């Protein structure tokens, strides 16, 4: 009787339920030795096991320690600080460029206004002088 399995033992070897072992016995996929309590031959169980596709074992998940988490947190904080500094620098440069552009535009407007005023002054200088009557003319006695 050592070369037989009970339904429970066959289920453990095959990695399935006892119910499925009994169905396999009814279908003739495993050799039934005794039906009293169901006993199946070890050889047929191992042949059936060899036919079943094996599921790949899941990759073991790496164990993460508190030190690993701390190191990761520090690395993320450092990278975040670098990105924030780069963004701030870019905005400062952008703001500086905008300020320079605004000042250049104001300078151009001021130079245009100076040219306009100089032309107006030149026109006023070229006009004939006003002849005013002598001071006191209407009031002479």
Most confident of 11-15, 108-112, 129-133: 108-112
Q: The pTM is what?
A: 0.39
pLDDT band at 15 (very low <50, low <70, confident <90, very high): confident
CB hemisphere CA count around 115 (13 angstroms): 6
Q: Which residues pair with 41 in a beta bridge?
A: 4
Q: How high is the pLDDT of residue 110? A: 92
Contact call for residues 40 and 4 (beta carbons, < 8 A): yes
Cα–Cα distances (Å) from 60 to 15, 63, 64, 95, in that order, read 20, 9, 12, 52
Q: Which residue has the higher pLDDT, 84 or 127?
A: 84
What pLDDT shows up at residue 117? Answer: 92
Cβ burial, residue 31 (10 Å; 0-12/13-18/19+)? middle
DSSP 141: -
Lowest mean pLDDT among 10-19, 51-60, 112-121: 51-60
Q: Measure the CA–CA gap between 105 and 110, rounded to whole angstroms.
A: 9
Instruction: Please provide the size of the chain in residues.
Output: 141
What does the block give as tokens for 35?
């039906």
Tell me which residue of 1, 70, 79 sits closest to 33, measured CA to CA. 1
């Amino acid at each position: 009787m050592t070369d037989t399995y009970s339904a429970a033992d066959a289920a453990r070897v095959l990695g399935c339920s006892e119910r499925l072992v009994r169905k396999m016995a009814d279908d003739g996929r495993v050799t039934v030795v005794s039906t009293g309590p169901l006993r199946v031959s070890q050889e047929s169980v191992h042949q059936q096991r060899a036919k079943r596709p094996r599921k790949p074992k899941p990759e073991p998940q790496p164990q993460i320690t508190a030190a690993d988490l701390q190191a990761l947190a520090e690395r993320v904080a450092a990278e975040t600080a670098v990105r924030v500094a780069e963004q701030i620098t870019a905005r400062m440069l952008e703001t500086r460029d905008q300020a320079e552009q605004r000042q250049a535009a104001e300078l151009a407007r001021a130079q245009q206004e100076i040219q306009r005023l100089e032309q107006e002054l030149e026109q006023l200088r070229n006009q004939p002088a006003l002849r005013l009557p002598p001071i006191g003319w209407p009031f002479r006695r």
